[in-house]
Amino acid sequence: MKRIYLDHAATTKTRKEAVEAMLPYFTECYANPSAVYSFAGEAKRGVDESREAIAGILGAKPEEIYFTGGGTESDNWALIAAADAYGNKGKHIITTKIEHHAILHTCAYLEKKGFEVTYLDVDDLGLVDPAELEKAVRPDTILISVMFANNEIGTIEPIKEIGAIAKKHGVLFHTDAVQAFAHVPIDVDEMNIDMLSASGHKFYGPNGVGFLYIRKGVKIRSYIHGGAQERKRRAGTLNTPGIVGMGTAARLAASEMEQEGKRQCELRDYLIDRVLKEIPHARLNGDFKRRLPNNASFCFRFIEGESMLINLDLAGICASSGSACTSGSLDPSHVLLAIGLPHEIAHGSLRITIGDETTKEDLDYVVDKLVKIVENLRAMSPLYEDFMKKNGKK
């Protein structure tokens, strides 16, 4: 059966060029890049080139890039190590209610360790208000962590304004850019970003490898203890093939960003337009303009997100729902609740994230199927029947 993969925010296929670049590092240049003999030189070169490529994309220096095991590790490291290094200066952290759990659960851990965390509200589009953020800054605030773009609703935050506020108050600024890096332009100097998390598998690199950018001068110390790799800040033998694959994917994504971003924005807007026109009682979640090129997030009233996903799966379509259904919980997504949606609407969410192979024909197929799926599910919904009766439609 035809399969249409539209869950690129969850993970992407590792692109062919990245796989090809990785292969020799498994079987030919497999030496430990930290070794002194010349055979290690090729592995070291591969790692260095990736570091340089990633630094170049961010406007950073190569020695400010630290390779990690992915976005979750980078987020944990940034927050826990900042709390550790600056905890004697103050114990207050500012973040938002719509962060990924890699940030929210790390904040909860730090609260148990005696830190106080302010979770900023967002507006109905998912945007943080920089003025509200500035009001939350206190003399004991040591860290602000605001995601670059939200993984569920795609909203891009006003990172430059937030960075300026952090700088003005002398507070460290971390951003979780896992969904944004290599998809939208980022400049760490222009945006006053002190730390930035990213993950290879979100931009057609391999899984289980990521990085943390740490601005020179920031006092972050080691979080994973052991050997002296990564300038003694992140121990563990480097994942050379993974790092080379991620660097290759980042380099290619950066060179294609403008063109591919434009193509994806056009497809995304086409999809949004068709869905909102053809499916009654549908809403777009997040900002229409300030959103990731690949993200379209909807809520359909009188529908259970999970039933929609199962029906889409039967039609060969891989998409995702905002609700935490995979964890067996019936709680709707914390992001959708934070933008003010009532539970019953948040339950009917659908996230479609397009990718480099997505075509207009794919999206036409999806919308055609979706119109029928929503119609069928509503025909079985007592809530919808009540609504129609109340509105004199039946």
| Beta carbon nearer to ligand PLP, 177 or 367 | 177
Provide, rounded to whole angstroms, the least separation between the CB of residue 100 and ligand PLP: 4
Residue closer to ligand PLP, measured from CB, 155 or 199: 199
Q: Is residue 96 close enough to count as binding ligand PLP by CB under 6 A?
A: no
Find, among 369, 155, 169, the residue nearest to 274 by Cα.
Answer: 369
Chain positions 187 to 206 lying near ligand PLP, rule: CB under 6 A, are 199
Cα–Cα distances in angstroms (integers) from residue 83 to residues 50, 100, 106, in the given order: 29, 19, 11
Other beta carbons within 10 angstroms of residue 329's beta carbon come to 9
DSSP H or E run through 212:
strand 210-214
* DSSP code at position 299: E
| Smallest distance, ligand PLP to C-beta of residue 239, A | 13
Minimum distance from residue 205 beta carbon to ligand PLP (Å): 10
CB-based contact 82:174 (threshold 8 Å): yes
Q: Compare residues 147 and 303 and give the one whose CB is closer to ligand PLP.
A: 147
Q: Which of 205, 210, 322, 355 binds ligand PLP (CB under 6 A)?
A: 210
Q: Is 325 a catalytic residue?
A: yes
Q: Please classify residue 2 by burial: count the beta carbons closer than 10 Å to its beta carbon, then call 0-12 exposed, 13-18 middle and 19+ buried.
A: exposed
Which residue stretch of 87-95, 174-182, 339-347, 366-374 sits at the interface with ligand PLP (rule: CB under 6 A)? 174-182
* Binding of ligand PLP by 157 (CB under 6 A): no
Short-list 347, 287, 40, CA closest to 149: 287
Which of the stretches 37-45, 71-79, 267-275, 293-301 binds ligand PLP when contact is defined by CB under 6 A?
Answer: 71-79
332 binds ligand PLP (CB under 6 A): no
Cβ at position 371, least distance to ligand PLP in Å = 29
Task: Answer yes or no: are the C-beta atoms of 46 and 25 closer than 8 Å.
Answer: yes
Note whether 151 binds ligand PLP by CB under 6 A. yes
| Residue 103, helix vs strand vs coil | helix
Q: Would you call 318 helix, strand, or coil by DSSP?
A: strand
353: contact with ligand PLP by CB under 6 A: no
* DSSP letter assigned to residue 14: P
Q: Examine residue 71 and tell whether it contacts ligand PLP (CB under 6 A).
A: yes
Nearer to ligand PLP, 137 or 238 (CB): 238
Q: What span, in angstroms and rounded, lies between the C-alpha atoms of 394 and 384?
A: 11
- Residue with smallest beta-carbon separation from ligand PLP: 71
Asked if 156 and 317 touch (Cβ cutoff 8 Å), the reply is no
What part of residues 360-379 is at the interface with ligand PLP (CB under 6 A)? Answer: none
Minimum Å gap between C-beta 79 and ligand PLP is 12
Tell me if 295 contacts ligand PLP by CB under 6 A: no
Size, binding site for ligand PLP by CB under 6 A: 13
If binding is defined by CB under 6 A, does position 179 make contact with ligand PLP?
Answer: yes
Q: Is 14 in the site for ligand PLP (CB under 6 A)?
A: no
Q: Rounded to a whole number, what is the distance in angstroms from the first to the last CA of the chain?
A: 38
In the complex, minimum distance from the CB of residue 31 to ligand PLP, in angstroms, rounded to a whole number: 27
Q: How far is CA 241 from the centre of its chain?
A: 23
Q: Does 106 bind ligand PLP (CB under 6 A)?
A: no
Exposure of 242 by Cβ count < 10 A (0-12 exposed, 13-18 middle, 19+ buried)?
buried
Q: How far is the CB of 149 from ligand PLP (least distance, A)?
A: 8
Q: Pick the closest to residue 245 from 197, 196, 208 (CA basis).
A: 208
Provide, rounded to whole angstroms, the least separation between the CB of residue 233 and ligand PLP: 19
Among the listed residues 70, 205, 241, 245, the single contact to ligand PLP using CB under 6 A: 70
* Residue 72 touches ligand PLP, criterion: CB under 6 A: yes
Site for ligand PLP contains 178 (CB under 6 A): yes
Among 100, 183, 268, 301, binds ligand PLP (CB under 6 A): 100
Work out the number of other CB atoms within 10 angstroms of the CB of residue 254. 18
102 sits near ligand PLP (criterion: CB under 6 A): yes
Strand ranges of the sheet holding 210-214, from the earlier edge strand across to the other edge: 65-68, 210-214, 195-199, 172-176, 141-145, 92-96, 116-120
Identify the CA nearest to 147 among candidates 75, 70, 249, 233. 75
**Footprint on this chain of ligand PLP (rule: CB under 6 A):** 70-72, 75, 100, 102, 147, 151, 176, 178-179, 199, 210
What positions carry a catalytic annotation?
A: 325
